[in-house]
Each structure stands twice: as structure tokens, then as C-alpha cells.
Copies of this chain bind each other. A is one copy, B any other.
Amino acid sequence: MNFEEELTDKVQDIEQLLRRYLPKEEGFQRTVLQAMNYSVLGGGKRLRPLLMREVFLHCGGENEAILEPFMAALEMIHTYSLVHDDLPAMDNDDYRRGRRTTHVVYGEDMAILAGDGLLNYAFETAMKAFDTASGTEYPRVAGALRVLAAKAGVYGMIGGQVCDVESESRQEVISAEKLLFIHEHKTAALIEAAMMIGGILAGAGEEPVRGLEKAAYDIGIAFQIQDDILDVTGSEEVLGKPIGSDERNGKQTYVSIYGLQKSVEDVEGLSREAIALLKLTEDSFLYGLITWLIHREK
């Protein structure tokens, strides 16, 4: 099986896992449950749960019963952030991945509540890991919960989103420092959560988990720079959105600040560093995944 086939299999596996953890669409609150499920099952790379499981296996993790709730939880958090980002008061996007956004289908009020519901349900879901955790796994689940909450919050993803939204609404020319802050928080934080949680649940100690955090940071930043590169060099057909839209909107990107050449070099350098930190061999799936992420065309 080549990398692409393995990737397709693993992503399909995650789709099934997500369906198992999503709520049943019943009761007086049915509409919000439908809106939550519609949002989560809208496709996507499933990058975060994918990375979480691969790191878990890479670190010798065995009991997937404590891992799976966290895989689902992290994807719920990623999804809620997109639902709220797309709202009229934020980016005001009517389409995402070729489908109508949640507020277009269910109304703005339901989209706000579906986002709230997903964030809250993510924690409910992750806490299910306590049910099957053994004595030694119990503190690992608690540790993983704390990383999940920290990386998703105002000192993680939300913090980056706030800074991004505010800079855009002020139409300010942002500094390289602020741009890095946005990328670190809005993009890298949840990748860090994915990989750290994979390690923590597998029983990795403090120092190895710090190594995972650094590797995840590199991957997150490289991933974001590649996004900015694709906005300039990509094909509209492949990307499914207009090329150069960031540039036309006057949005500062890594490429507009550092130029294309340094951007491409940095993506390479960061991914090489991540691979070295993780001590990956070329035949491992995780090696293939990181390489694919960095060289993707959409």
C-alpha cells in the first residue's frame, strides 16, 4: 500500500470514529445536534486526529480506548472554531469546502449555539477516556485534558484568532512578530495539542512531550507558511478558491513579509527539523504525512 492509499484508509477510519462519537439527533434540542453533526461531517483533512494517533503509536501507545475520545474531541474543537470564524460578525463566509456554512443552513443563532455545543461536547467526549483508563492511565488522561484546554483557549487557538480578527478589522499593517503570534496560536496550537496528547496518552515523559511540542510547532508553522505560499502560487482549480485573495485583501502573510524564496526555504527547514526531532525514518507513515502536508497543493 502506498502512502496515499494508507492515508485514505486512515482518514476513512477517522470519519467512522467521528460518527461514533457524535451525538444522536433527537430530543427538543435536536436542531443544535443536527447543526453540530453537519459541521463536523463536512470533510477536511482530519489532520489533527491523524497526527494524534500516529504520534501515540510512534510513542508505543497501545490502549486506543483512551485515545479515541481525544481524537474526536480535538476535531470537534477545530470544527467549532471554523463555525464561529465563518459567522457574519467574523469572516462572513457562506461556503466552506464547497458546502454552505453552518449559519447559512441553520441560522446565525443556531450556528453560535452549535459552536458552543461542540466546544463543550469536546470536553465531555475527551472526559469519557476516564471510563476505561487504568490506574496508571488516569493521570495521563488528566494531563491530556489540560493540554487540550490550554491549547484551545485564550493562550492558544482563541488567542491567535482574536489577534487576527482585530488586526483585520483595524486594517493594520501587522509586524512580523504579530504575524508569528497569530500563526503560533491560531494554527500551531491545535497541532501541538494533537501531538502532545498522543505522546502523553502513550505514557511519554515530560521531556519527550516537550520535544513533541517543538516538532508540532515546526509542523504547524510550516503548514501555515505553505498555505500562504499556495495563495500566491497555487492553482485555483486545485485549491477551490481564488488565488491571490489574501494579497488583494491587503492581508499580510509570511510570503508578503519575507518573500517567496525564504518562505519555501523555511517550510523545508522546519519540516526537516520536525522529522529530526521525531527521529523518523523515511519508511514511516508519519514521515510521509509530514512531507505530504508540507508539499501539498491544496
A interface list, Cβ under 8 A from B: 23, 27-29, 31-33, 36, 80, 84, 87-90, 107-110, 112-113, 115-117, 119-121, 123-124, 127, 130, 138-139, 141-142, 145-146, 149-150, 152-155, 158-163, 165-166, 169, 178, 181-182, 185
Contact = CB atoms under 8 A, between A and B. Distances in A.
A185 B163 CA distance: 34
Given A33-B154, A87-B112, A154-B120, A149 B127 contact: yes
Contacts of A169: 107, 109
Nearest to A35: B162
Closest 9 CB pairs of A and B: A89-B108, A29-B159, A120-B153, A32-B162, A124-B149, A28-B163, A117-B154, A29-B162, A123-B149
Contacts of A116: 80, 84, 115-116, 119, 158
A89 B110 CA distance: 9
Nearest to A36: B154
**This chain's copy number in the assembly:** 2
A120 B123 CA distance: 9
Determine which residue in A29, A108, A182 has the highest number of CB atoms from chain B within 10 A of its CB, and name it. A29
A152 B127 CA distance: 14
Determine which residue in A36, A110, A116, A158 has the highest number of CB atoms from chain B within 10 A of its CB, and name it. A116
A124 B153 contact: yes
25 contacts: A27-B159, A28-B159, A28-B182, A29-B158, A32-B162, A80-B116, A87-B112, A89-B89, A89-B108, A109-B165, A110-B166, A113-B158, A119-B120, A120-B152, A120-B153, A120-B158, A121-B153, A123-B123, A123-B149, A124-B149, A127-B142, A127-B149, A130-B142, A138-B142, A145-B145
Contact of A109 (B90, B154, B158): B90
